[in-house]
């Protein structure tokens, strides 16, 4: 499913086309794709809400499949391995950020389904060091949302500074939040969910939220930490106000509508902190997949055929998917 020009997803901008099978270069593996998750970042790519990148492009970065060919020099992955491909496709490996475990900030980083072709296809390529083994606990469909929604939620948990047993707020309750709440509950946190969609509120209660309210409601208790999954800048101020003194708000999205002016005394004083989240490191992915298998996390998914990728993105935009959409390909 190829995107040639950015457009509103309602116009069905992704086109089904036959292309040559990609061939792995040195250090790369080719993955025969079984499933690919449908992520909000894909929607931002398709609708041009991110800075311009490669066109035409095959979106998709929550990819699960079987390695069917390896390039020269590959040692860590072999044909027949089941692996996942995430958003971060490759980095330079040499800059100060790569050398200090912050490769997600590498200025030369490339991203799957944005700079290079992704998983809305029968085959996809990835560097062997960014091909993640998928725990046998998960089916392909269950694993796909973990590769972005799960990883980013996990990094956002870390950036929020929440500690086991503390109170955590989640703003927006889509694919990422429905995984994050399971990790937070495993840590013994009390989770407060803010969403204006009743179907999402119902799922939040089912997954263990101690309180569920509207997007701008004040919770009954002050929060130690919060994560903003909704790409809605107008929610930043009420989220900061919901924090206790010394609390941290982590913004998990790659895209955010403009944030209105903040009032220093009301929103930030008393050492409240505002953090952003940028992609993920390999270690984030490894840690999340290991912990997800232990819990074990259960993802809620809605399957679509590859050819219905436009429909899946339209439903994602409308907020009518419970959990995460997944394209079934293999």
Is it the case that residue 330 has pLDDT exceeding 90? no
Please give the Cα distance from 154 to 135 (Å, whole number). Answer: 17
Residue 183 · residue 153 · CB < 8 Å:
yes
Residue 323 · residue 206 · CB < 8 Å:
no
Name the pTM for this structure: 0.92
Distances (CA, A) of 174 to 144, 233, 269, 325: 15, 17, 30, 10
Please give the Cα distance from 43 to 314 (Å, whole number). Answer: 9
* Percent residues over pLDDT 70 in the chain: 100
Q: Which pLDDT value is given to residue 323?
A: 87
Q: Give the pairing type, strands 301-305 and 324-328.
A: parallel
Domains belonging to the chain, first-starting first, are 2-145+279-328 (3.90.180.10), 151-276 (3.40.50.720)
Q: Give the pairing type, strands 14-15 and 110-111.
A: unpaired
pLDDT tens-digit readout, 92-115: 999 999 999 999 999 999 999 999
Q: CB-based contacts of 255: which residues, under 8 Å, 6+ apart?
A: 41, 44, 49, 50, 231
Backbone dihedral angles phi then psi of residue 98, each to the nearest 5 degrees: -65, -40
Distances (CA, A) of 250 to 245, 254, 257: 15, 12, 15
Q: What is the CA radius of gyration of the chain?
A: 19
Nearest in space to 101 (alpha carbons), one of 294, 290, 286: 286
Please give the Cα distance from 131 to 6 (Å, whole number). Answer: 28
Nearest in space to 46 (alpha carbons), one of 83, 9, 81, 17: 9
Mean pLDDT of 275-302: 96
Mean pLDDT of 184-205: 95
DSSP result, 129-143: GGEEEPPTTS-HHHH
Is it the case that residue 117 has pLDDT exceeding 90? yes
In this structure, what token pair is assigned to residue 325?
Answer: 């959409």
Q: Which pLDDT value is given to residue 322?
A: 85
* Percent residues over pLDDT 90 in the chain: 96
Mean pLDDT of the residues in the chain: 96
Q: By three-state DSSP, how is residue 164 classified?
A: coil
Q: Which pLDDT value is given to residue 11?
A: 98
Q: Which pLDDT value is given to residue 52?
A: 86
Q: By three-state DSSP, how is residue 83 classified?
A: strand
Beta bridge partners of 228: 171, 251
pLDDT tens-digit readout, 121-132: 999 999 999 999
In this structure, what token pair is assigned to residue 215?
Answer: 């997007």
Is it the case that residue 173 has pLDDT exceeding 90? yes
In this prediction, residue 265 has a pLDDT band, given cuts at 50, 70 and 90, of very high
Is it the case that residue 176 has pLDDT exceeding 90? yes
Backbone dihedral angles phi then psi of residue 175, each to the nearest 5 degrees: -60, -45
Please give the Cα distance from 183 to 24 (Å, whole number). Answer: 35
Q: Which pLDDT value is given to residue 212?
A: 98
Is it the case that residue 302 has pLDDT exceeding 90? yes
H helix or E strand, kind and range, residue 191: strand 190-194
In this prediction, residue 140 has a pLDDT band, given cuts at 50, 70 and 90, of very high
Q: 269 exposed, middle or buried (CB, 10 Å; 0-12, 13-18, 19+)?
A: exposed
Please give the Cα distance from 123 to 184 (Å, whole number). Answer: 34
pLDDT tens-digit readout, 45-87: 999 999 989 999 999 999 999 999 999 999 999 999 999 999 9
State the number of CA atoms in the 13 A half-sphere of 115 facing the CB.
Answer: 11
Handedness of CA 314, 170, 103, 134 (dihedral sign): negative
Q: By three-state DSSP, how is residue 310 classified?
A: helix
Residue 150 · residue 138 · CB < 8 Å:
no
DSSP result, 261-313: PPPIIIIITTT-EEEE--S--HHHHHHHHHHHHHTT----EEEEEGGGHHHHH
């Amino acid at each position: 499913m190829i995107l040639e020009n950015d457009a509103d997803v309602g116009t069905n901008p992704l086109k089904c086309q036959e292309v040559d099978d990609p061939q792995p270069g040195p250090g790369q593996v080719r993955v025969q794709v079984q499933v690919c998750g449908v992520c909000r970042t894909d929607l931002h790519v398709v609708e041009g809400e991110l800075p311009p990148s490669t066109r035409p492009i095959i979106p998709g970065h929550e990819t699960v499949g079987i390695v069917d060919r390896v390039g020269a020099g590959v040692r860590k992955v072999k044909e027949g391995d089941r692996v996942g491909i995430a958003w971060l496709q490759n980095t330079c490996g040499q800059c100060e950020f790569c050398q200090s475990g912050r490769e997600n900030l590498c200025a030369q980083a490339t991203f799957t389904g944005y700079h290079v072709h992704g998983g809305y296809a029968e085959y996809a390529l990835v560097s062997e060091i960014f091909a993640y083994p998928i725990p046998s606990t998960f089916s392909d469909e269950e694993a796909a949302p973990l590769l972005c929604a799960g990883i980013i939620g996990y990094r956002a948990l870390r950036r929020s500074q929440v500690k086991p047993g503390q109170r955590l707020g989640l703003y927006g309750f889509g694919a990422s939040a429905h995984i994050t709440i399971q990790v937070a509950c495993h840590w013994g946190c009390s989770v407060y969910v803010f969403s204006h969609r009743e179907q999402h509120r119902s799922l939040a209660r089912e997954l263990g939220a101690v309180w569920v309210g509207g997007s701008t409601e004040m919770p009954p208790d002050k929060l130690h930490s919060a994560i903003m999954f909704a790409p809605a800048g107008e929610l930043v101020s009420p989220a900061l106000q919901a924090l206790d003194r010394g609390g941290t708000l982590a913004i998990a999205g790659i895209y955010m509508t403009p944030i209105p002016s903040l009032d220093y005394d009301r929103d930030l004083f008393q050492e409240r902190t505002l953090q952003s989240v940028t992609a993920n490191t390999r270690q984030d992915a490894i840690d999340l997949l290991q912990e997800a298998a232990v819990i074990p996390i259960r993802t809620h998914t809605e399957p679509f055929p590859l050819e219905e990728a436009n429909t899946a993105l339209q439903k994602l935009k409308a907020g009518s998917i419970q959990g995460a959409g997944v394209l079934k390909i293999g």
